[in-house]
Amino acid sequence: MSGVLKFFEQVNWNFDKAARYTGFDPGLLEQVKSCNNVYHITFPLERDDGTIEVIHAWRAEHSHHISPTKGGIRFAANVNEDEVTALAALMSYKCAVVDVPFGGAKGCVKISKHKYSKAELERITRRYTFELHKKNFIGPSSDVPAPDYGTGPQEMAWIVDTYKTLSVNELDAIACVTGKPVSMGGVDGRAEATGLGVFYGTRHACSFQDDMDKLGLATGIEGKTVIVQGVGNVGYHAAHFFQEAGAKIICITEYEGAIYNPDGMDIEKVMEHRKAIQSILDFPDAKNLPDRNTGLEIECDILIPAALENQITMNNAERINAKIIAEAANGPVSSDANEYLHKKGVMIIPDIYLNAGGVTVSYFEWVKNLSHVRFGRLTKRFDDNFHSSILSTLQDLFGEKITPEHVKQMGYGASEKDLVYAGLEETMMSSYNHIRDTFKTVNDDIDLRTAAFIESIRKIAQFYVDKGIFP
C-alpha cells in the first residue's frame, strides 16, 4: 500500500486480503463487498436564536443479504459519506462473525453535539428520523438504528417516539431502534454491552496458553497492565470490567490529555474526578502526560483503543509497546499499521469481532420487542421456587443448615440482565473459537483480523449461494 487509504478503502483492503482464502466466485465477492444503498439527507434547523442552519446527515445500508439491516447513529463534526459507508460495511461483517441475523448499516449526523442545546438536538433527531422513515430507511423489518459515538438512550427515545407517531398502527413499532431506555422497551444490560463484550472477548483470547506463551504473558486478566484510550460509554465499561477482574489500569487517554500511574488507577475515581472538573487531567493519583498520544506508546500488556478510527497508523505504530491491542473502537488501527504490528508479534483482537457486544445485545432487545415479553418474566419465579426446593431437599437429606447466603447464591432465577450477560458471554466465546480455528488452520501467516473477515465473508456469501443467486 502507498499513501493513506480512506476508511472504506481500508475496510475493502482487509476484505480483499481475506477473500482469496474463501474460494468464492469473484462476482459474488464483489456483491458481498459492495454497499447497497447510501442516503444523503439535508434539512434546515431553526436554532434557538431563530437563525437557520442546514444539517447534513447520512444513512448507509451496506448489505441486504438478510433483513433488517442494523447499525448505530453517530453525531460528530467530522463524519462524511466515506466514513458512514465504511462503518456500515464493518457492521455487515461484525454481525456475520457473531451470527447475529442482520445486514450492516450505519447513520450519522454532521454536528458537534456540544454546540447544540437539548431542544435543538431533539429537533435534529426527530427530523432525521422523519427523513429516514420517508424513504423506508428505518423500521423493525427494514433498518434498525442504535446508539453510537455522540448518541445514547435519549436520542433513541426521541427516535422511537417519532417513529411510533409516524406508524400509528404498527404493533412492533418499538423494535424500530435499539439502545432505548428500559422504560421504553430497552433491555437491561445494553448500556454496558459493548464494553462488556470487549472484556469477555479479550478474557477468552487470553485463556489459551500457547497463544499467551508467544507473547510472554500468563493466561487470564488478573495482574495485566491496561491502557484505555477514550472513556466514553465503551471505554469506561471495558475499563470497569477489566479492573473488576484484577487488571491494572495504568494509563487513560482522552481528547483533553492523558494520565498515568504505573501502579494502576481506580476507574471509578477517575470518572468522579472527570465529572467534577470536566477533565481527567490533574487526577490526584496519577501524573499528567505531555500529550494524549503519548499514552498510547507506554509499555503495557493490553491497549484498548475505544475512541475513533485511525488512532494507530504508520505515524506511531513503531512506538506502540503493547503486546495485545483490543479494538474496542471501529477501525482504530489502520491497515498498514496492522500489517506492521502483526509482523512485530503484536496480537490484535479485531473490531469486527471484539466490539460486537453492542449489536449482539441490540439483537436481544430487538427480539424482546418483537416477542413483547421481558426476558426472564416467564421463568424467573419458577426457577426461584425450583432452586429453593432443591436446597430444602438437600437440607433434609444431609441435615446441613442452608444459610440465607446459600439461598442468595444458588436459589434464585435469572433476571433479564443475567440472561443478557450469559448470552453475550456465550456469543463472544463461541465466535472467538471459530475465528481462532480459522486462524490456526489457514496455511499462511494470517492475523486474527483476516481470520475474522474470512469467517464473515464465508457466511454472507453462503446466503447468496443458498438463495440460488450465485452458483
What's the domain range around 208?
A: 1-34+187-379+414-471
Give the pLDDT of residue 414: 72
Q: Between these two residues, 464 and 158, which has the higher pLDDT value?
A: 158
Q: Tell whether 170 is covered by a domain.
A: yes
Beta carbons within 8 Å of 105's beta carbon, 6+ residues apart: 59, 60, 61, 62, 69, 70, 71, 88, 91, 143, 145
Question: Is there a domain that residue 468 lies in?
Answer: yes
- Count CB atoms within 10 A of the CB of residue 2: 5
Q: Can you give the CATH number for the domain in which 425 is found?
A: 3.40.50.720
Distance, C-alpha 325 to centroid of its chain: 15
Where is the domain boundary, 121, 150, 184?
184
Lowest mean pLDDT among 86-95, 105-114, 220-229, 438-447: 438-447
- Averaged pLDDT, 132-146: 97
Q: Domain check: are 91 and 10 in the same one?
A: no
For residues 194 and 327, state if they share a domain.
yes
* pLDDT bucket at 386, cuts 50 / 70 / 90: low
Residue where one domain finishes, among candidates 184, 205, 239: 184
Residue 293 confidence (pLDDT): 87
Average pLDDT over residues 138-163: 96
Spell out a b/e string for 42-78, using b for 16 or more CB atoms within 10 Å of the CB, else e: eeebeeeeeeeeebebbbbbbbbbbbbbbbbbbbbee
Same domain, 199 and 52: no
465: CB partners within 8 A, 6+ apart: 24, 28, 471
User: Which pLDDT score is estimated for 20?
Assistant: 94
Average pLDDT, the chain: 91
User: Do both 53 and 164 map to the same domain?
Assistant: yes
Separation between Cα atoms, residue 337 and residue 334, nearest integer Å: 5
Mean pLDDT of 281-308: 93
Sign of CA dihedral 412, 413, 418, 423: positive
* Residue 169 in this model has a pLDDT that exceeds 90: no
Do 175 and 198 sit in the same domain of this protein? no
CATH of the domain at 41: 3.40.50.10860
Domain tally for the chain? 2
Give burial (CB, 10 Å; 0-12/13-18/19+) of 405: exposed
pLDDT at 375: 61
Q: Are residues 2 and 120 located together in one domain of the fold?
A: no
How much is the pLDDT for 310?
Answer: 86
**Which of the four pLDDT bands, split at 50, 70 and 90, describes residue 398?**
low
| Contact status, residue 226 vs residue 199, Cβ threshold 8 Å | no
The whole-number pLDDT of residue 373 equals 77
- Per-residue pLDDT tens digits for 62-97: 999 999 999 999 999 999 999 999 999 999 999 999
Together in a domain, 73 and 136:
yes
- Residue 288 counted as domain residue: yes
pLDDT at 2: 44
| Whole-prediction pTM | 0.89
Query: Where in the sequence numbering do the catalytic residues fall?
Result: 106
Q: Encode pLDDT of 242-288 as tens digits.
A: 999 999 999 999 989 999 999 999 999 999 999 999 999 999 999 99
Q: What is the pLDDT of residue 456?
A: 97
What is the model's pLDDT at position 366?
A: 95
- Output the pLDDT for position 393: 61
In a domain, 314, yes or no: yes
Q: In this predicted structure, what is the pLDDT of residue 5?
A: 78
- Cα dihedral value 72, 76, 80, 82, nearest 10: -50
Whether residue 157 sits in one domain with residue 110? yes
> Taking 70 as the threshold, does the pLDDT of residue 12 lie above it?
yes
Whether residues 269 and 220 fall in one domain: yes
In a domain, 321, yes or no: yes
Q: Domain for residue 429, yes or no? A: yes
Has residue 88 been placed in a domain?
Answer: yes
Q: Are residues 62 and 204 in the same domain?
A: no
Q: Domain end: 165, 184, 203, which one? A: 184
Q: Is it the case that residue 389 has pLDDT exceeding 70?
A: no
Give the model's pLDDT for residue 1.
46
In whole angstroms, give the CA distance from residue 102 to residue 67: 6
pLDDT band at 407 (very low <50, low <70, confident <90, very high): low
327 and 225 inside one domain: yes
Same domain, 30 and 63: no
> Does residue 409 fall inside a structural domain?
no
